[in-house]
Chain A
Amino acid sequence: AQSVTQLDSHVSVSEGTPVLLRCNYSSSYSPSLFWYVQHPNKGLQLLLKYTSAATLVKGINGFEAEFKKSETSFHLTKPSAHMSDAAEYFCVVSENPNNAGNMLTFGGGTRLMVKP
């Protein structure tokens, strides 16, 4: 079984400072991991994904995440926050044993607030 825990429900940063959104996962198989972003009244957009290649994954809008198997973590970072980064962020795990289908399990979400 797979599960995802986002350690902070809310994160507040000042514009121009670094962003860290924390995510821990549990999986019985070698998982794929994703970060999605949801802006207010908008659908979900894929930020980045890890699928057993490079452990440091670069995504859109300057975000990146590092897969650490020993820590079962996949934290999302950005060196410098922008006001437009204010949104809800979801860490997502997918198991696909035997190519049986790509079931996604979502974390509880982290609301990122960016102060001017």
Chain B
Amino acid sequence: SAVISQKPSRDICQRGTSLTIQCQVDSQVTMMFWYRQQPGQSLTLIATANQGSEATYESGFVIDKFPISRPNLTFSTLTVSNMSPEDSSIYLCSASWGGYNEQFFGPGTRLTVL
């Protein structure tokens, strides 16, 4: 496994603003992912962050709302744009290594939108 960190750990934001969440892994990884966990719910995959190319989004998630960057093999960002109270969730990044299909998760970013 590896150490996966996220910044910020939590934030309270006003509606209409945007927040960028950072995910840093302490070793090079093959794949990185972003998930959303709404209050009291399970995890839903937002997108796969592809190194050097556009992220692959799941149904119901679009790039304009959740732009993602992955400039190298250890770092990714997720931006939650034009936020509304419905975006209040925990956002988690995860990483996996080639040949292994388990994912390891960061601690999450708890977002509250007022």
Interface residues of A (CB under 8 A from B): 32, 34, 36, 41-46, 49, 51, 90, 94, 96, 101-104, 106-109
Contacts and interface: CB of A to CB of B under 8 A. Distances in A.
B88 to A, nearest CB: 15
Most buried by B among A41, A45, A90, A96: A41
B101 A51 contact: yes
Interface string B4-43: 1000000000000000000000000001010000000111
Interface stretch (B63-71, B73-81, B105-113): B105-113
B102 interface: yes
A44 B101 contact: no
Contacts of A96: 101
B42 A106 contact: yes
Given A32-B101, A51-B101, A90 B42 contact: yes
A107 B42 contact: yes
B34 to A, nearest CB: 12
14 contacts: A32-B101, A32-B102, A43-B108, A44-B43, A44-B92, A90-B42, A94-B101, A102-B31, A102-B101, A103-B45, A104-B45, A104-B103, A107-B42, A109-B41
Nearest to A9: B40
B96 interface: yes
A49 B1 CA distance: 14
Q: How large is the interface on B (under 10, 10 to 19, 20 to 34, 35 or more residues)?
A: 20 to 34
Contacts of B106: 43
Nearest to B106: A43
B105 A44 contact: yes
Contacts of B89: none
Question: Closest 9 CB pairs between A and B?
Answer: A102-B101, A43-B107, A44-B105, A106-B43, A106-B42, A43-B105, A94-B101, A109-B42, A108-B42
Contacts of B43: 44, 90, 106
A46 B104 contact: yes
Contacts of A34: 102
A43 B43 CA distance: 12
B101 A42 contact: no
Contacts of A103: 45
